[in-house]
Amino acid sequence: MIQSTTLHNGIRVITEWVAGAHSVSLGFWVRNGSRHESPALAGISHVLEHMLFKGTSKRSALDIARDIDSVGGVLNAFTAREFSCYFAKVLSDKLPFAVDLLSDIVLNSVFDSAELEKERRVIQQEIYLVDDTPDDIVHDLFNQNFWAGHPVGQPILGTAESVGKIDPVTLRRFMAERYTGDRIIICAAGKVKHEDVVNRITEAFSQVAAGAGGETCTLPLCSSGYDILHKPLEAVHFCLGVQALPQNHPRRFELFVLNSVLGASMSSRLFQRVREDRGLAYSIYSYLNCHSDAGALVVYGGTSRDNLAEVLEIVTDELKQFARNPMSAGELLSARENLKGSLLLSLESSDNLMTRLAKNEIYHGRQCSIQELVQGFESVTAEGVCDLASSLFRDDRAFVQLVGRPMDDSIAKVSFV
């Protein structure tokens, strides 16, 4: 049973009671991520996420770690492009402790200068590690160049230079502006009573400012073409992406099925044709990178420079096939069952349920029922996927990012004409 309450300051509290559960997952979600940052403050949301674990007015960083360990729980956080999340998973009778710990972290962090300096170095090392890992950096570069000039394409980590300029005063100001009631969603799933959660959240977060509301983001527009980051590597890493659909688009189920058949598993067309049949790459897969107002379907692969042209030709050929010929009945059935199975299996975990509550609220403004989602997958037809593919796979909506030492003519293999 899912219940929702909006507090006086705009904070939304959403809970789901799970019969037979022993645990509860509690998440503090805020609609603030890397797309809400200026270039000068790129990475500040991620820095803020780190710093909220570095000490409050009543707990040191060590106290925070010891407290969650003392109840056998899990405490973690992550930053994405459109939101940040801080969450705890504990036994159900420890819910009061979880609320106290999360509220202390979010509301009472001190942003000590010495701790910030240490954490800045940690984050800069994280950035350097990505820069030194070609199969990581190719995705960041793809986003930057595909969504050229738009903050949705900025790296979540920021840059070593931008992170180096962030100080405690800037962090406090940024948090005061962004962590307001109209952007905050607090979700709990497991063995929880809604009124109990609401009462505890009301008491803990009553002083949070409501915020101005009505925030709008500029629509990201995709670029076409290609970019090469030349590195002295034996392999060449690539991301080939096309503009796709936002998270709440009515045709998203067709897109999910398309991605599943294309490259989301070991039985997918790309894995079978590129790796299993021809042995041209160790890693080849596709994924969806969808936001509230835009999205991309991306194929990643890593192969030798001698094989790159052939791999890219196979990838574009498979994309063309989707646009020209409806998939087989067997492929469609397998993709539907795969997606439904993954969805239903995920519901056995309280942390997945908690995440689902938050993302439904963020992207749909309501709770989508499981029955609605299953029916969405069931409604997909092979002809519908083909029609969607023909509208998406166009040269003016495609971008290729390369990292390595490609042959000069490799990129010429990428065309949907």
Active site residues: 49
| Partners of 399 in the β-ladder | 225, 241
Q: What angle do CA 178, 179, 182 make, to 5 degrees?
A: 90
Residue 90 CA to residue 383 CA, distance in Å, equals: 46
Count of beta carbons in the 10 Å neighbourhood of residue 347: 14
What are the DSSP calls for 392-411, one per residue?
A: H--GGGEEEEEEE---TTGG
Q: Do 368 and 360 contact (CB within 8 A), yes or no?
A: yes
Alpha carbon separation from 385 to 16, 53, 236, 354, 388 (Å, rounded): 34, 45, 31, 31, 5
Pairing status of strand 12-17 against strand 184-190: parallel
Residue 276 CA to residue 283 CA, distance in Å, equals: 11
Q: Do 105 and 113 contact (CB within 8 A), yes or no?
A: no
